[in-house]
Amino acid sequence: MLSKELVAASTTTLVLSILSEGENYGYALIQRVHELSGGNVQWSEGMLYPVLHWMEKEKLIESEWREAESGHRRKYYRLRPQGRKALHTEKEQWLAVHNLLTKLWKPQPRLT
Amino acid sequence: METPTPFDLNEAIRRWQHELGSSPTFCADNLEELASHLRTSVQKLKATGLSEEEAFLIATQRIGERETLQQEFAKVKPAVNTSWSMLLFWSVTGIFLLRVIFSLSDSVFWFRRMNSWRYSVIWFRDGMAVFLVVVMASLFCWRWIMGRWKGFGAFIVSRVETIARTKLISTALGLVVFALMIASLPVISVALAARMNFRIDWPHFWPRFAAKVAINVILVLSMVLLARRGLRKISPTDGTLQNRATSGSR
């Protein structure tokens, strides 16, 4: 299980990445993260929405209410150009951390 | 344990929304989105073999507790709320400063006219007092209404918020508040003049009055614009989102 801090730090990046695959709604975003991480990343469900709203306010994503198959309305989110740019920067930064850690954790030859 | 009345999902969701909606943090749009989430969640849980009622209970648990939700939603909201209250704050501060300046200039005017500081002092003191009383009274009333009738206060706030979403109406609302505040200044002047048994020389009063209002409008508008600029600079992009994210992490 990921620590709270890491979950919090990675939320925007995860949302941006999933939305870069195409538009989606809140519940599906949570499901997708849950499945892909094999249950290691658990978002407390309601808390995703304030983040989405914040991202919308920052013009990273935009939303639209639409009718779902069930007949009820559902709010779909999709990336905006600014969000795509943000994802690009985020990617670079996460990869930098990833590369650094991989290098550090490469099996070291032991002398003893 | 079987309940005698069958479980009604729509009714349960409505009740859940109603409970959440008693806090002004959630606007109608938030409530609908959360309800839509609950519906999808219940649907998926039911597919695993749970009853509708069990599914609803689990779904509400998973979505989070009321207090936590409220806290998290409130963190995003301020951008709207603060900008409104900040604008109001700056307008009031601006008007207050203007009041001081005009009171001072009026005091000088009265001194020159009457050749005595007596009237100037009365003018300045009473002008400030009346203004302060008006401001304090409105603030107090607002707080009282909000505290006293929690549901009512939340109702007003959510209504104003929904209305304010339309740009035209929010501009109109802002202008009305603005006009009222501006109008209060000359009204105070006239009232004070009446109190001092000073007969207002209307033909001469009007140009002065118009000039005052015009200067007020310009100064307060620039104050508001400055505040807006300031707000834009302060607001997010400082990476605080990370702390805003999930699981009530603080």
Question: What is the reported pLDDT for B101?
Answer: 78
Helix (H/G/I), strand (E/B), else coil: B8: coil
pLDDT truncated to tens, each residue of chain B (250 aa)?
A: 555 678 888 899 999 988 888 877 788 888 889 999 999 999 999 999 999 999 999 999 999 888 888 888 888 764 444 455 566 666 667 777 777 777 777 778 778 777 777 777 777 777 777 777 777 777 777 666 666 555 555 666 666 655 555 556 656 666 676 677 666 666 777 777 777 666 667 677 777 777 777 776 776 677 666 656 555 544 433 333 333 443 333 3
CB proximity list for A74: less than 8 A, separation 6 or greater:
A25, A65, A66, A67, A68, B36, B40
Do A44 and B68 count as a contact with CB atoms less than 8 A apart?
yes
Name the percent of chain A lying above pLDDT 70: 96
Question: What is the reported pLDDT for B30?
Answer: 87
Residue B76 has its nearest CB partner, among A4, A7, A50, at: A50
Other Cβ atoms closer than 10 A to A33: 22
Is A70 an interface residue toward B (CB < 8 Å)?
Answer: yes
Is A41 an interface residue toward B (CB < 8 Å)?
Answer: no
Is A77 an interface residue toward B (CB < 8 Å)?
Answer: no
Helix (H/G/I), strand (E/B), else coil: A43: coil
Residue A9: its chain B contacts at CB < 8 A?
Answer: 242, 245
Alpha helix segments (H runs only) across chain A: 4-19, 26-36, 48-57, 81-105
CA distances from B33 to A15, A53, B43, B169 (A): 17, 11, 15, 24
Residues of B with CB under 8 A from a CB of A: 30, 32-34, 36-37, 39-41, 43-44, 62-64, 68-69, 72-73, 75-76, 79, 236-237, 241-249
Residue A25: its chain B contacts at CB < 8 A?
Answer: 36, 40
Residue A26: its chain B contacts at CB < 8 A?
Answer: 33, 36-37
Question: What is the reported pLDDT for B159?
Answer: 61
Tell me how far apart the alpha carbons of residues B13 and B50 are, in angstroms, rounded to a whole number: 17
Measured in angstroms, the CA of A108 and the nearest CA of chain B are apart by 34
Residue B114: DSSP 8-state: H
Per-residue pLDDT of A48-85, as tens digits, reads 999 999 999 888 999 988 887 778 889 999 999 999 99
Residue A31: its chain B contacts at CB < 8 A?
Answer: 44
Report the C-alpha dihedral over residues A87, A10, A43, A14, rounded to 10 degrees.
20
Tell me how far apart the alpha carbons of residues B136 and B131 are, in angstroms, rounded to a whole number: 9
Among chain B residues, the shortest Cα distance to A59 is held by: B237
Is A64 an interface residue toward B (CB < 8 Å)?
Answer: no
Which pTM does this prediction carry?
Answer: 0.54
CB proximity list for A90: less than 8 A, separation 6 or greater:
A12, A13, A16
Do A47 and B247 count as a contact with CB atoms less than 8 A apart?
yes
Question: What is the reported pLDDT for B185?
Answer: 65
- State the number of CA atoms in the 13 A half-sphere of A77 facing the CB: 27
Name the percent of chain A lying above pLDDT 90: 59
The pair of structure tokens assigned to B237 is 């992009």
The pair of structure tokens assigned to A73 is 């309305």
> If residue B119 lies in a helix (H) or strand (E), which one and from where to where?
helix B117-148
Do B68 and A49 count as a contact with CB atoms less than 8 A apart?
no
Sign of CA dihedral B57, B61, B62, B64: positive
Tell me how far apart the alpha carbons of residues B122 and A101 are, in angstroms, rounded to a whole number: 74
**Of residues B53, B10, B57, B52, the one with CA closest to residue B35:** B10
Tell me how far apart the alpha carbons of residues B128 and B96 are, in angstroms, rounded to a whole number: 9
Tell me how far apart the alpha carbons of residues B37 and A28 are, in angstroms, rounded to a whole number: 9
Residue A51 has its nearest CB partner, among B37, B63, B241, at: B241
